[in-house]
Amino acid sequence: MEIVDIIQGPVVGQIKTVLSHKSHQFGEVLREKWTLTIYPLAEYFLFDLESEQQNTTPDTLFLNTYHYGGLGFRGSGQWNIDDSKNFKSRWNILTSEGIKDSAANASHARWVAAWGELDAAIAGVTVFNHPGNFRYPQAIRVHPIMPYWAFSPVVDGQFYISPGAYYKSRFRYYVHEGQPSADVIETFFKLWAAPDVAARNR
């Protein structure tokens, strides 16, 4: 990974990076640009992730149907029942559609909240899926045991990236203390996504 730019300011900070995804046999397959935009807030953490992946090979890249893939979130070892050293209690999942825990697996969501006990306090992270993303609202994978979930568009079928073409996606992270409020999360989502939702409904 290479950091190509850092922007500091009173309203927003930004980090731009380039990542190279390589095959042992063929070398670089994808070149990915990340733009992380961080907002200086006191009561919680809020940042955006924009990803731009380019197929840098002369061949079409096929992504096959699978139950994993896309943007993944891995929770604390304190939520992992298989981690005998660190496990404290199970985590919690809530989606924008009101589906909870492992029942949310293979459902579709605009946002996913994950939280649980961390060092005797409650904390969690909500990830918002942007309306402009491919196959929005994307399918999600929630692991039945481990604290892991992912936005996974390949759940709904194969797709491909042509030589030189781009796959772009945008997400927002809301990192908070305490149990999340679905009403607060929904308000945050609408403030972020409303311009695109309005445009799609014209």
**Residue 19: strand pairing partners:** 32
Backbone angles phi, psi at 49, to 5 degrees: -120, 120
* CA separation for the pair 155, 168 (Å, rounded): 18
- pLDDT value of position 1: 84
Pairing of the two strands 2-7 and 159-161: unpaired
What percent of the chain stands above pLDDT 90? 89
pLDDT tens string 57-80: 999 999 999 998 899 999 999 999
68-72, 74-78, 123-127, 158-162: least confident range: 68-72
- pLDDT value of position 195: 60
Let me know: does 106 contact 153? Beta carbons within 8 Å.
no
* CA separation for the pair 189, 172 (Å, rounded): 9
- pLDDT value of position 198: 39
Which pTM was predicted?
0.92
Q: DSSP letter for 101, please.
A: G
What phi-psi label fits residue 195: left (phi over 0), alpha (psi between -120 and 50 degrees) or beta? Answer: alpha
* CA separation for the pair 68, 140 (Å, rounded): 8
* CA separation for the pair 65, 57 (Å, rounded): 21
- pLDDT value of position 194: 77
Write out the DSSP string of 29-80: EEEEEEEEEEE--SSSEEEEEEEEEEE-SSSPEEE---SS-SEEEE--GGG-
pLDDT band at 22 (very low <50, low <70, confident <90, very high): very high
Query: Above 60 in pLDDT, residue 202?
Result: no
Query: Above 50 in pLDDT, residue 84?
Result: yes
**Average of pLDDT values for 76-97?**
95
Query: Above 70 in pLDDT, residue 157?
Result: yes
Average pLDDT over the chain reads 94
